[in-house]
Each structure stands twice: as C-alpha cells, then as structure tokens.
Amino acid sequence: MRRKIYGRVMAAVLAAALLTAGCGSGTQETQESGTAAQQETGQEESAGSKEFSYFGAIWSPYQETSPIFDELMERTGITVDFEWVNEDGLDTLLASKVAAQDLPDVISGGTKAPAAINDLISQGLIVPITDYLDNELANYGRLLTEEDRLYLTYQDDGEIYGFGLVMDVPQTFSTMIRTDWLERVGLDIPETWDDWMEVWRAFKTQDANGNGNPNDEVPFGFNYDMIKLMMNVFGINSNGEFSVVDGEYVYDPEHPNYELFLDTMRQMYEEGLLPQDFVTTAGTDFNTLGASNTLGSLIGYAEYAKNYTVSCRELDENAFYQCVVPIQGPTGTQSIPARAKVTGSAYITVAAIENGHLQNVLDFFNYVYSDEGIELTNYGMEGEFCEMVDGSPMIKAPYNESFAVAREEGLIPSTIPFCFTEDSYMQILTGGLSYEELDDAGQTFMDGLTINKPYYYTEPAILQTASYVECFDLREQQVSLRDRYIMGQISKEEYSTQYQALKDAGLGQMIEDVKAAYTEMTQ
C-alpha cells in the first residue's frame, strides 16, 4: 500500500516537473511580456520621453553598450532600445521577428543590408526615406551626391529606403607583392601581364620563400568573396555581378571579356598559380594564407600589406609585401574598385509608424549625421577620447593605436549608421605618427592608399529588380558554373550549355530587366 502511495506521489511529481519544464519558456515569455508592458506603462507615465527600438548586427570588437551610444542618447534625448545579434544569425532571427509580427522600429544588417531586405520592401514593411532626405534627415541628405542617391535607389519604385555608413575615407584596395621573393627569384616588380605571369611561374617553380620546400608557394591569391578584384585585371569593372559597358548595364558573364577571364583563370589554376582551394579561401582562411609565408602576391585591402608583413616576419625576418599599382591585364587595362561611399544597411520599418516612433528615429540619426554627431562618433567626447589641438580634435592613446581598440571602446561605431571621416581614419591608421615615423610595413600600407588613385573606378549599383531578387538561386548556380570551369571540372561546351539553361530558366529575363532598369535610371 505504502509503495502504491509512493508510486502515485512520484508519478504526480514527475508529471508536474515535465509540465513545468515544458511550459518553462512560455512562463518566462509571459513574465517578460509583463515586464515589457510595465516598462511601456512606465514610459507612458514619464511624459515627454522619446524612444525607438533598433535591431542590428554586431561583431567583434564592438560592444553592445558604449559611452558613445550613451552620449548620443543623452544629447538627443532619445532612448534607443538596442537589440544586437551576431551577424550570422541576423537573417534567421529577423525572419522570426517578421513572422511573429514583432518588427523593431529600425533594422540593420551592420555594414550591409539584411539579405531579405528586398522582400521586406516589396511586402511594404520598410518606410521610404526619400522625402525625408531634404528635411528630417537633411544632415544625411547633405552627404549624398546625386550618384549616391542613384546607388541607393530601389528600382521597382524609385524610392530610397536604406541609410547607413558614409565612408568619407580613402579608397583602400591595392595589389601587393613579396619583394623579398622577387629578389630571391631574380626578377623585378612586374609591369605587363607577361611580366606578372613570368613572376608567378617563377614563384611556383622556385623556392621563392626560401624554406627549402619548392612546392609550398602560392604565387597569387585573392579573397574569394572579392573575386571582382580579379575581374578588374581583365577589364571587367564589376560590382561583383554587373558592370557598365558602353553605357549598358551588363551581367558579368555577358561581358565581352568574360570568356578571356574564364580561360585565363582556368589556365592559371591548372598551372598552380592560384590557391588550389581558392573557392573556400575567404575571410579568416585568406588571412591565414596571407600570414603563412607562402603567398607571393595578392589583391585585397591595402592594410593586408602591413598585417601580412608583420605576421610573415615571425617566420622570415625579410618578409615584405609592397603595395604596387594594379596588375596590367592581358587586354592592357588597369583598374581597381573604389570603395562604395554609401551603404544602405539600416532601414526604418512600418512598426516605427505604428508605434509613433518615426520622428524619434529621424531625429536621432539626423543628429548622428550632423557635424556634432560626426565629431562624437569619430573622436568621442573631448577629454575622454580626444583633445583639441589648434581647434581640431586629436584622438588620444590608446584609442588611436588601432581600429580594433577604437571600435572596442565605441568609436567609429559601424554597428549603427554614421559618417566615417578621413581625418579620424588617418589618425587611427597612423597612430598619430607621420609617414616618416612609420615603419616600412606602415609606409607601404599608406602607399597603397595613394598609388592606386589613378586607377579607381566607381562601381555601378546592383539594381535589385524583382527578377534579380527572384533569380537568386540561378545566379548562385552561375557562380558554381564559373568556379567549376576555372577548376577544370567542366568543359567550355558544358559551361555554355548549362549557362544557356539558366538563362532559359529566368536568368535571361533578369539580364534584360536590369538592363532596362539601368537605362531608365540613367535617363
């Protein structure tokens, strides 16, 4: 009998425990909702308080809170309820929020737009800011040229939706080559395409890094995510997918030089002049390659010259990546993309209107883009982050020692829209030192910022028409074809047949649509 009672008690306890566990999250949610409701009520009670919610991506070394954000909120009198999410998880979490009808007032993809922003726009969930650029967001509007406005325009309705980082800083891409390797193989800095091929072949066949192993050199590399830098060598001034040829907006695979690009890349890959795993060499993998003392030359951010030189010197004290002018391609062209000045990364949602927060959002960011706001976000508060020298703010140590330190402390907050100035960029870049005071790695980095100026081109905007958005999987498959052809996995006939199949499946229509959109836009 006693055993039976114990059994019943145990069963009841177990069932109660399971029920409690199962309902745990729901209870928590209810409590949170309650708290949120209480807060809302509290805010309603404190008359005059302004607020809005901001959902955005965050990445290292940025922190979720910073004295700069606090100061911005204090100066504007607007409280921002920040909700940060790791970059990788942003799109998934945003989808959940939209589905749960829990839209924040502002969403931001960090340095780029959230992946599905066009779908949100087409569903009417994003507020156009075109009409505010000359009034409520006038401080942002003043920073935009006509070209910038075109770049930001959404093609389907001609409205501007996104605002974000304004980069008033020098262009930063460059070509770099190991001069110590050149000495070892007895060659000079290459100038023509044939020179470059000769150098790469020498790097490949000789023990250019002098470690006794003639087979570990990778003559030339680029971050796979920036393969457009390689297209430039062949005269394709692409934004990653499209370029403008004789005033016409052309999908890269349709560019007259694309076949030359493909064939030459295939030949280079076959000869081992490119990394064998170049399709997966991006981000940190590329940095690992650059720091491994096995990479002979590259195209990428000019700062790589400094970073990789420093890293490689731990293995070879003579290592030196020198920034040089862009590679002269087989067609004799030389070009390198200028970094986009504006990026549409933040968007105001219809929730801001529904919540009555639209004016708060506009006021807050209008201040961020004002002269005071620009000074605050770039130099911080006087006395704490910077001091005035001859009427100009000078960032103090340690905040000017590296971008990482500055960002960790809240300066140059790319997690929200703001304007990054050339002056603060250079102050942090040089750590307050003059060119002469920099070491050779720092100097070549600085050189990279200047020697490429004559070769910069402005990337055309990606015209995100409805068919462009719809064809995302077909564009992905075209990239797959490109890479497989370069790697010698398919023949030219197979490439052509399969590419034609993609065009027939909708890519062809997209090509025509974006072409028409560009013509309409430029007219």
Partner 1 sequence: MKRIGIKKRQEQAVLKQKRPLGKRIWKARYVYLMILPVIVWFALFQYWPMAWLSISFFDYNLYLGFAGSKFVGLQNFIDFFTGLDFWRLIRNVVLMNLYSLAVAFPMPIIFALFLNELRNQKVKKAVQTVSFLPHFISMVAFVTIVTEFLSPVNGVMADIFRFFGKEPIYFLGQAKYFRSIMVFSGMWQETGYNAIVYLSAITALDMNLYEAAMVDGANRWKRLIHVTIPGIMPTVVVMFILRIGSLINANFEKMYLFQNSTNLEVSEVIQTWVYKRGMIRYDYSMGTTAGLFNGLVALLLVIMANRLSKRYSDSAGIW
Contacts with partner 1 by CB under 8 A lie at 7-8, 11-12, 14-15, 18-19, 21-22, 91-92, 95, 98-99, 101, 103, 115-116, 119-120, 123-125, 275-277, 279-280, 289, 350, 469, 472-474, 476-477, 479-480, 482-484, 487, 489, 501-502, 505-506
DSSP 327: P
Name every residue whose Cβ is closer than 8 Å to that of residue 413 and which is 6 or more positions away in sequence. Answer: 62, 66, 68, 69, 377, 407
In 3D space, the residue among 414, 408, 382 whose CA is nearest the CA of residue 395 turns out to be 382
Min. distance of Cβ 460 from partner 1 in angstroms? 23
Name every residue whose Cβ is closer than 8 Å to that of residue 177 and which is 6 or more positions away in sequence. Answer: 189, 190, 199, 296, 297, 321, 322, 324
Q: Give CA 114 to chain center in angstroms.
A: 11
Q: What are phi and psi of 297, to 5 degrees?
A: -155, 160
Cβ closest to partner 1, residue 7 vs residue 42: 7
Min. distance of Cβ 521 from partner 1 in angstroms? 24
Read off the tokens for 516. 């028409």
Cβ closest to partner 1, residue 119 vs residue 241: 119
Cβ closest to partner 1, residue 147 vs residue 277: 277
Cβ closest to partner 1, residue 192 vs residue 280: 280
Min. distance of Cβ 420 from partner 1 in angstroms? 28
Integer Cα distance of 346 and 375 in angstroms: 21
Min. distance of Cβ 117 from partner 1 in angstroms? 9
Q: How many CB atoms lie within 10 A of CB 47?
A: 6
Q: Which residue carries 């949610």 as its tokens?
A: 29
What H or E segment, with its residue span, contains residue 215?
Answer: none
Cβ closest to partner 1, residue 18 vs residue 388: 18
Integer Cα distance of 111 and 61 in angstroms: 14
Q: Which residue carries 């193989």 as its tokens?
A: 185
Integer Cα distance of 429 and 301 in angstroms: 13
Min. distance of Cβ 459 from partner 1 in angstroms? 22
Cβ closest to partner 1, residue 423 vs residue 483: 483
Cβ closest to partner 1, residue 158 vs residue 488: 488
Cβ closest to partner 1, residue 115 vs residue 340: 115
Tell me the residue ranges of DSSP E strands in 150-268: 153-154, 159-160, 166-168, 173-178, 218-222, 242-245, 248-251
Cβ closest to partner 1, residue 103 vs residue 197: 103
What letter represents residue 324's amino acid?
A: V
Q: Which residue carries 């999987």 as its tokens?
A: 473
Min. distance of Cβ 129 from partner 1 in angstroms? 19
Name every residue whose Cβ is closer than 8 Å to that of residue 211 and which is 6 or more positions away in sequence. Answer: 293, 316
Cβ closest to partner 1, residue 4 vs residue 41: 4
For residue 186, the SS3 value is coil
Min. distance of Cβ 312 from partner 1 in angstroms? 16
Q: Exposed, middle or buried: residue 361 (CB in 10 Å: 0-12, 13-18, 19+)?
A: buried
Min. distance of Cβ 25 from partner 1 in angstroms? 11
Q: Is the dihedral of CA 199, 204, 206, 210 positive or negative?
A: positive
Cβ closest to partner 1, residue 32 vs residue 277: 277
In 3D space, the residue among 418, 367, 355, 345 whose CA is nearest the CA of residue 105 turns out to be 355
Min. distance of Cβ 317 from partner 1 in angstroms? 23
> Which residues are registered as beta bridge partners of 167?
420
Min. distance of Cβ 482 from partner 1 in angstroms? 8
Integer Cα distance of 413 and 392 in angstroms: 20
Read off the tokens for 402. 């590296």
Integer Cα distance of 504 and 304 in angstroms: 42
Q: Give CA 470 to chain center in angstroms.
A: 22
Min. distance of Cβ 32 from partner 1 in angstroms? 19
Min. distance of Cβ 479 from partner 1 in angstroms? 5
Helix 472-486 and helix 492-502, axial crossing angle in degrees, nearest 10: 180
Cβ closest to partner 1, residue 14 vs residue 315: 14
322: Cα within 13 Å, side-chain hemisphere: 12
Cβ closest to partner 1, residue 235 vs residue 296: 296
Read off the tokens for 261. 């690009």
Min. distance of Cβ 92 from partner 1 in angstroms? 5
Min. distance of Cβ 504 from partner 1 in angstroms? 8
Cβ closest to partner 1, residue 216 vs residue 387: 216
